Amino acid sequence: MSRDGSPRLRRTSDILPLFTKVATTSHYELSFPALPWQLLNYIKMNSNDLIDNSFVFRDLGLLCKNAQLPGTAYATAQINGNYMGINQKYAHTRIYTDSAFTFIVDDDYRVIKFFELWQEFISSGSDSNRSRKAFYHRMKFPAEYKCDTMRLQKFDKNHGASVEYTFLSAFPVNITPVSVSYDQTQILEISVSFAYDRYFFGNLRRQDTRSNQNSGMATNPYPKDFLDHAGNAVGMDKTTKIKNVEVDKKRDQNNDATSGFPDGPYIA
């Protein structure tokens, strides 16, 4: 728009490059780089080693036929009275909606088995025989079945610019029923909806938080400078904790001595 408010005159040759250099929908990559090791072992054993790490970390993402870039919204609260005749809304909670993915099923049915065993693992906390009439479900702890990071990268055929979404703490919350019939033969597909805590937009290089689970030593997420500055007890060794206790005792003794009372100051 020009300075006087009238529309600007643009030649077709000026705006043609803008509409020819657009993003397409057919180039993306889905991967599951951080599945819990308990879940992987369960799927591998119950599939008779048919589903191995090579399929999970390499082939499964390539069989994703349709993916959804995540959506987000805000829950709002309405406030009346700040300005006469005007209602104002303010955001108080960010809402992350579930994302759906469609996978092509291979002839070994590994895709179906993978997601069925994933959901079966979630509700297998009872550790009882499934053939029993009195079988019941008990859910596993979220840390055991949630995928730490699920990565979706959208790019174009020239592999230039791209956008990346990392779903944090994701798991399959819904598997859509699949129809089979005697009609014209089609490729079998399965749709899976994932719930997640939140997503990170941009390039996220995660640290493997599950690498030390077998050893029983959890990694300390706080840097040493932060612990020294804040005096946080998280990650302190035994010697540091003993020194801190001794300092607290001396401080209490000095306060009692300066108060003039053997058992500390007396407050009426």
Summarize pLDDT for 105-164 with one digit per residue, the tens: 999 999 999 999 999 999 887 777 777 777 788 888 999 999 998 999 888 877 777 889
For residues 132 and 227, the model is more confident at 132
The CA-atom distances, in angstroms, between 143 and each of 38, 119, 139 are 10, 14, 11
- pLDDT at position 233, please? 41
What is the distance of C-alpha 158 from the center of its chain? Answer: 29
- Rounded to the nearest integer, the mean pLDDT of the chain is 78
- pTM across the whole model: 0.67
DSSP letters for 127-147: ---TTSTT---BPPPHHHHSE
Residues facing residue 100 across a β-bridge:
193
- pLDDT at position 202, please? 80
Residues 6+ away with beta carbon under 8 Å from 64: 28, 30, 101, 102, 103, 104
- Cα–Cα distance between 35 and 171 in angstroms, integer? 10
Q: What is the pLDDT of residues 62-90, one digit of tens each?
A: 999 999 889 889 999 998 888 888 888 99
The packing angle between helices 110-122 and 37-46, to 10°, is 120
Residues 6+ away with beta carbon under 8 Å from 263: 256
Mean pLDDT on 243-250: 56
DSSP character at residue 214: T
Mean pLDDT on 169-175: 94
Is a pLDDT exceeding 70 seen at residue 253?
A: no
Mean pLDDT on 181-208: 84
What is the distance of C-alpha 55 from the center of its chain? Answer: 21
Residues 6+ away with beta carbon under 8 Å from 33: 57, 149, 150, 151, 206
Residue of 169, 219, 231 whose CA lies nearest to 194: 169
For residues 253 and 170, the model is more confident at 170
